[in-house]
Amino acid sequence: MAHHHDHGSANRGDPDKVLLDIADYVMSFSPSAASKEAIDTARYALLDAIGCGILALQFPECTKLMGPVVPGTVVPNGARVPGTNYVLDPIQAAFNIGVMNRWLDFNDTWLAAEWGHPSDNAGSILAVADYLSRKAIAEGKPQVVFTMLDVLEALVKTYEIQGCLALENSFNKVGLDHVVLVKVASTAVVTKMMGGSRDDVVNALSNAWIDGQSLRTYRHFPNTGSRKSWAAGDATSRAVRLAMNALQGEMGYPTALTAKTWGFYDVLFKGQPFKFQRPYGAYVMENVLFKVSFPAEFHAQTAVECALKLHPQIQAKGGVSQIKAVNMFTHQSAIRIIDKTGPLKNPADRDHCLQYMTAVGLIFGELKAEHYEDHFAADPRIDELRSKMKVSEEERYSKDYHDPEKRSIANAIQIEFADGSKTDKVEVEYPLGHRRRRAEAIPEIVKKFKHNMGTHYTHRQLHAILDVSLDGGKFAKLTVPEFMQLLVKN
């Protein structure tokens, strides 16, 4: 059904309400005025995403995808890519930043009818802010240089658009990947950052929905693979491309969603219009989930916490060889997404297997990015322990997962030993990265950031980065080129 409004469009017809609502939010909402908590959280979210990206530079499978499209290309006043010497056009810079930040599956998460990783949007925001700022400086227009506060505000908006669309609408149920929402959110916000009007935002957004969307098959058996690690970079770079087109005056398609037969709803969403739980504000950033302790798919975070609590008891019994059975109790979403038996083909398969992640935690008392690599996964104890696991749904966990007041992501584990004894049933309802545990998590997020950055930078450069990054006041005032310059590899 098409929605009719009095709003005009730069082109023709009355644009879909979904497009207009996003455009109005992007053009008029002020995150700083609305929520100090959201701005504070956004700084930690951005630093965490950058830290995850810097850590990913240790992995050749990631870095082989990075750099300019044509080797050796340097773009005048181009955008920088953290941890490298690349100076790229903003489309390719967004791809690079998006790929590195997402590669290890260690940045923040949003769980709802659709899940996803809203910090994926940082790729487009940083690339565009750095490019536009450097161009402005070169043209003698310092008044239009972006600050890091501008970046945090843009981030809050992308989180909100992606997260609110995800609250009631499941794209994975129709076989589409959640990165469609990264592309949509980034397109809207980046168009505004480039100086676009409300009509420009609507036009760019319509093209984002019209694009062919990624199939989810690369996240699931039998095709699980590394595309899931660069899909977000692909989405953010596409957003920048569509925003730039709109700024050139390229037309939009007002009923991209609702057009009968040919619109997004009829072609890709089984004829159903999107549903919305709440108006756009700062809710998503305030409630985002951080991956603090482990690079593990989020539905498994509490299971790994349980495993680490049980590890000493297993050691005291003489190790995993003494385990007869591992009884796991979880929520329905975890069963649907990461409950896997049988052979696991690659790291992308393993970090989306509840049993694998839990087994590593039970055996080793830790879980790190390198634990998904082939040489580590060859340890026979891991698959042996996986074969002893029984996963069942705890209905209360499934209910609390969907409760907007609780948003729990609970798991519990009980171990049975060969001698007939059992551990207590160890339960964790809220992972460390949950809003309910924010005060406990912030020092750990800072520690994680320091560690990740320390894998790549000299002590002196690291000190300069930390000096501005961990002081909210200093950070907000810093210009984007100043911040990005700090991150260039010396």
pLDDT digits (tens, 9 = 90+) for 382-415: 999 999 999 999 999 999 998 888 889 999 999 9
Residue 2 — pLDDT band, cuts 50, 70, 90? very low
Q: Which of 299, 320, 297, 300 is nearest to 310 (CA)?
A: 320
pLDDT at 3 exceeding the cut of 70: no
Separation CA 165–CA 54 (nearest Å): 29
Residue 1 — pLDDT band, cuts 50, 70, 90? very low
The amino acid present at 105, given as its one-letter code, is D
Q: Which of 159, 65, 156 is nearest to 116 (CA)?
A: 159
Across the range 194-220, mean pLDDT stands at 96
pLDDT at 324 exceeding the cut of 70: yes
The three-state DSSP-derived secondary structure of 288-314 is CECCCCCCCCHHHHHHHHHHHHHHHHH
Print burial letters for 195-221: b (CB count within 10 Å at least 16), e (below 16): ebebbbbbbbbbbbbbbebbebebbbe
Q: Is the dihedral of CA 469, 473, 478, 480 positive or negative?
A: positive
Q: Average pLDDT of the chain? A: 95
What pLDDT is stored for residue 417 in this prediction?
A: 97
What pLDDT is stored for residue 458 in this prediction?
A: 97
What pLDDT is stored for residue 111 in this prediction?
A: 86
**Crossing angle (nearest 10°) for helices 36-56 and 438-454:** 30
Count of beta carbons in the 10 Å neighbourhood of residue 267: 13
Across the range 456-460, mean pLDDT stands at 97
Separation CA 265–CA 256 (nearest Å): 9
What pLDDT is stored for residue 7 in this prediction?
A: 39
pLDDT at 432 exceeding the cut of 90: yes
Across the range 232-252, mean pLDDT stands at 98
pTM of the model: 0.89
pLDDT at 4 exceeding the cut of 90: no
pLDDT digits (tens, 9 = 90+) for 261-284: 999 999 999 999 999 999 999 999
pLDDT at 294 exceeding the cut of 90: no
What pLDDT is stored for residue 296 in this prediction?
A: 84
pLDDT digits (tens, 9 = 90+) for 69-127: 999 999 999 999 999 999 999 999 999 999 999 999 889 999 888 889 999 999 999 99
The answer to whether the CB of 157 falls within 8 A of the CB of 26 is yes
Which helix (DSSP H) or strand (DSSP E) does residue 133 occupy? helix 122-138
The secondary structure of 27-93 as a DSSP string is HH--HHHH-HHHHHHHHHHHHHHHHHHHHHTT-HHHHTT-S-SSTT---TTPEE-TTS--EE-HHHH
pLDDT at 435 exceeding the cut of 50: yes
The answer to whether the CB of 273 falls within 8 A of the CB of 168 is no
> Rounded to the nearest 5 degrees, what angle is found at the Cα of 240, between the Cα atoms of 238 and 243?
110
Through-space distance between the first and last CA atoms of the chain, rounded to whole angstroms: 56
pLDDT at 9 exceeding the cut of 60: no
Q: Which of 400, 399, 414, 408 is nearest to 429 (CA)?
A: 408
Separation CA 166–CA 283 (nearest Å): 13
Separation CA 470–CA 51 (nearest Å): 13
What pLDDT is stored for residue 12 in this prediction?
A: 57
pLDDT at 158 exceeding the cut of 50: yes
Q: Who contacts 299 (Cβ-Cβ below 8 Å, separation ≥6)?
A: 111, 330, 331, 333, 334, 337, 338, 354, 409
Residue 478, token pair as written in the block: 């810093």
Q: Tell me the percentage of the chain whose pLDDT exceeds 90.
A: 90
Query: Residue 369: phi, psi to the nearest 5?
Result: -55, -40
Across the range 280-290, mean pLDDT stands at 96
- Mapped onto helix, strand or coil, the DSSP state of residue 21 is helix
Separation CA 481–CA 246 (nearest Å): 25
pLDDT at 231 exceeding the cut of 70: yes
What pLDDT is stored for residue 205 in this prediction?
A: 98
Count of beta carbons in the 10 Å neighbourhood of residue 463: 10
- Mapped onto helix, strand or coil, the DSSP state of residue 256 is coil
